[in-house]
């Protein structure tokens, strides 16, 4: 669906190692330690689903990977390049490493965060034009193509307030894809949606999975995690409690905490 | 009663001196527009400087806040007197700055423009700040997550939304600015207040000043209505679903 990473002519392809690796990520908000040492490696093409109770640090983890919340400790490397090495050796707010990372990692938010003063087309075309330096025509053509692929080819000129939640979220996905990311992060992207709109968004993500996109999906949709995940990670109190293939973690969890959580979620 | 009418509403006097008063009012309008546009730009610049992120820009943010606090706290009249009474004697400045005569306007006009821009820039910076802070944090995050720099995000995402939110309060500030241009009469700019005062001193009647006041109302009343309508429109946007009550 997106421009395949390999087509990008920036020479950062390094097929051997993991695409993303996190080592000992710690994040505090004041006294509260939200992440207490996360190690995670994501291979190219892998779909990692992160589940866990609210407050477990799932969203913070994604925001740390994107450096919207720079971690206090730990290392992040993407495509073999060390991006972040803690507060001292770390990347600055506007360092080249941050740009490198954000231009290769797409993030989709629970609340969509579309730009309300711009049409769907302009929402998607903005970053390619402003950040990648594409011409306006080129950016708009690409944006129209992406919107078409998420099923919104007839909504190019609509403003976000005139779109349903599901449509807005699909625009947000197209917007992230427009940067040609190598890794997509989905932060509970269906949690703010009415139940009947969830499927259209999950279908778009399924399509991305089929095309081999690498992604980390934070979700409460256990069924979806089972369907598309290559690996399920269960996070609780800022630590990875358990991880493995969906069948193992979801149907035959080893840890007591995982069992308790799944019991509560699947009861519904 | 007649005395009141003779003093304030002497129509023959108003008719006789209308040309003079109107010329003065045109200077008022020119001063308002030039100073208003510059204050809008300077205020936005200050607001953006105040929002620069990171530790490196701490001194800039600090200096900006100090500037805004200081010039919101000093009377405009004092700034006018400070500038007009000092600038001509600062020998290190080029003459065109010490005694400016740009665009065919006399130096008091430009001293007034400077003083008003300095003061109202500080007021307007606060208005812009309110607008910028009213844009949900997710907007900046979305822009940054797409790889935009802080500046790109401000320019393309935050400021366009912020300005839309504060057009009404900015217009309010502009109305106040327009009224405050009369202060520049103290440094002998022949705007509407000074023209009116001269006629008052000459005829012992205040009707020329009343005429000036009426000319002000002709401009400020529609502007005030416009502000109300903008505010209503903005509020309607946030009460979607409620029955629509058309304003006016």
Helix boundaries (H) for chain B: 2-8, 11-50, 58-72, 76-86, 95-98, 107-134, 137-145, 150-153, 159-180, 192-203, 207-238
Q: What string of pLDDT tens digits covers the 268 residues of chain A?
A: 444 444 444 445 545 689 999 999 999 998 899 999 999 999 999 999 999 998 889 999 999 999 999 898 888 999 888 887 755 444 444 467 888 888 899 999 999 999 999 999 999 999 999 999 999 999 999 999 999 999 999 999 999 999 999 999 999 999 999 999 999 999 999 999 999 999 999 999 999 999 999 999 999 889 999 999 999 999 999 999 999 999 999 999 999 999 999 988 877 5
> Å from A263 to nearest chain B CA?
33
Give the span between the Cα atoms of A230 and A225, in whole angstroms.
9
Where residue A119 falls (left for φ over 0; alpha for ψ -120 to 50; beta otherwise) is beta
The reply to whether residue B147 touches residue A99, judged by beta carbons under 8 angstroms, is yes
State the CB neighbour count (10 A cutoff) for residue B4.
8
Contacts of A106 in chain B (CB under 8 A): 145
Q: Smallest Cβ distance to A131: which of B147, B157, B164?
A: B147
- Comparing A87-101, A242-256, B6-20, B176-190, the range with the smallest average pLDDT is A87-101
- Dig out the tokens for A225 from the structure: 């995690």
Q: What interface predicted TM-score (ipTM) does this complex get?
A: 0.87
pLDDT of B24 over the 80 cut:
yes
Decide if A35 contacts A183 (C-beta within 8 A): no
Q: Smallest Cβ distance to B53: which of A66, A93, A106?
A: A93
Label the pairing between strands A32-42 and A20-29.
antiparallel
| pTM of the predicted model as reported, rounded to 2 decimal places | 0.85
Fold annotation for B2-238: MetI-like fold (1.10.3720)
> Å from B11 to nearest chain A CA?
51
3-state secondary structure of A110: coil
Decide if A230 contacts A245 (C-beta within 8 A): yes
pLDDT digits (tens, 9 = 90+) for B199-235: 998 889 888 999 999 999 999 999 999 998 988 887 7
pLDDT of B76 over the 70 cut:
yes
Q: Smallest Cβ distance to A107: which of B136, B145, B160?
A: B145
Give the span between the Cα atoms of B109 and A135, in whole angstroms.
45
Could you tell me the CATH superfamily of domain A5-267? Answer: P-loop containing nucleotide triphosphate hydrolases (3.40.50.300)
Give the span between the Cα atoms of B197 and B204, in whole angstroms.
10
> Å from A262 to nearest chain B CA?
30
Task: Strand A32-42: give its sheet, edge to edge.
Answer: A32-42, A20-29, A73-78, A81-85
């Amino acid at each position: 669906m997106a421009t395949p990473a390999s087509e990008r002519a920036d020479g950062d392809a390094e097929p051997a190692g993991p695409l993303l690796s996190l080592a000992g990520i710690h994040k505090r908000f004041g006294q509260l330690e939200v992440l207490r040492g996360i190690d995670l490696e994501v291979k190219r093409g892998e779909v990692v689903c992160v589940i866990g109770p609210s407050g477990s640090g799932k969203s913070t983890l994604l925001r740390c990977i994107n450096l919207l919340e720079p971690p206090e400790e730990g290392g992040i490397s993407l495509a073999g390049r060390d991006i972040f090495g803690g507060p001292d050796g770390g990347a600055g707010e506007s360092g080249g490493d941050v740009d490198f990372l954000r231009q290769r990692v797409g993030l989709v938010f629970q609340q969509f965060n579309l730009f309300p003063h711009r049409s769907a087309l302009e929402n998607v075309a903005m970053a390619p034009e402003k950040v990648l330096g594409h011409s306006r025509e080129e950016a708009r053509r690409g944006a129209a193509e992406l919107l078409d692929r998420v099923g919104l080819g007839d909504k190019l000129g609509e403003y976000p307030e005139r779109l349903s939640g599901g449509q807005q979220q699909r625009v947000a996905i197209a917007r992230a894809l427009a940067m040609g990311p190598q890794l997509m992060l989905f932060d509970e992207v269906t949690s703010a949606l009415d139940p009947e709109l969830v499927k259209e968004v999950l279908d778009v993500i399924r399509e991305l999975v089929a095309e081999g996109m690498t992604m980390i999906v934070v979700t409460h949709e256990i069924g979806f995690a089972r369907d598309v995940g290559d690996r399920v990670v269960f996070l609780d109190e800022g630590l990875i409690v358990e991880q493995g293939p969906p069948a193992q973690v979801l149907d035959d969890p080893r840890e007591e905490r995982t069992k308790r959580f799944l019991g509560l979620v699947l009861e519904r | 009663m007649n005395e009141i009418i003779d003093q304030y509403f002497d129509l023959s006097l108003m008719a006789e001196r209308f040309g003079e008063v109107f010329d003065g009012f045109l200077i008022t309008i020119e001063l308002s527009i030039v100073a208003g546009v510059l204050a809008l730009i300077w205020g936005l610049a200050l607001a953006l400087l105040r929002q620069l992120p990171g530790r490196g820009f701490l001194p800039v943010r600090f200096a900006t806040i100090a500037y805004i606090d200081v010039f919101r706290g000093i009377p405009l009249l004092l700034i006018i007197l400070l500038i007009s009474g000092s600038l001509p004697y600062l020998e290190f400045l080029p003459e065109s700055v010490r005694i400016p005569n740009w665009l065919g306007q006399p130096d008091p006009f430009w001293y007034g423009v400077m003083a008003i821009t300095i003061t109202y820039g500080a007021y307007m910076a606060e208005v812009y700040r309110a607008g910028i802070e009213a844009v949900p944090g997710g907007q900046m995050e979305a822009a940054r997550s797409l790889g935009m720099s802080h500046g790109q995000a401000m320019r393309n995402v935050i400021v366009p939304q912020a300005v839309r939110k504060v057009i009404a309060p900015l217009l309010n500030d502009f109305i106040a600015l327009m009224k405050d241009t009369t202060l520049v009469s103290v440094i002998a700019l022949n705007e509407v207040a000074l023209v009116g005062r001269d006629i008052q001193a000459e005829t012992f009647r205040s009707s020329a000043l009343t005429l000036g006041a009426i000319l002000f109302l002709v401009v400020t009343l529609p502007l005030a209505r416009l502000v109300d309508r903008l505010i209503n429109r903005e509020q309607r946007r946030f009460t979607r679903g409620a029955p629509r009550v058309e304003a006016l």
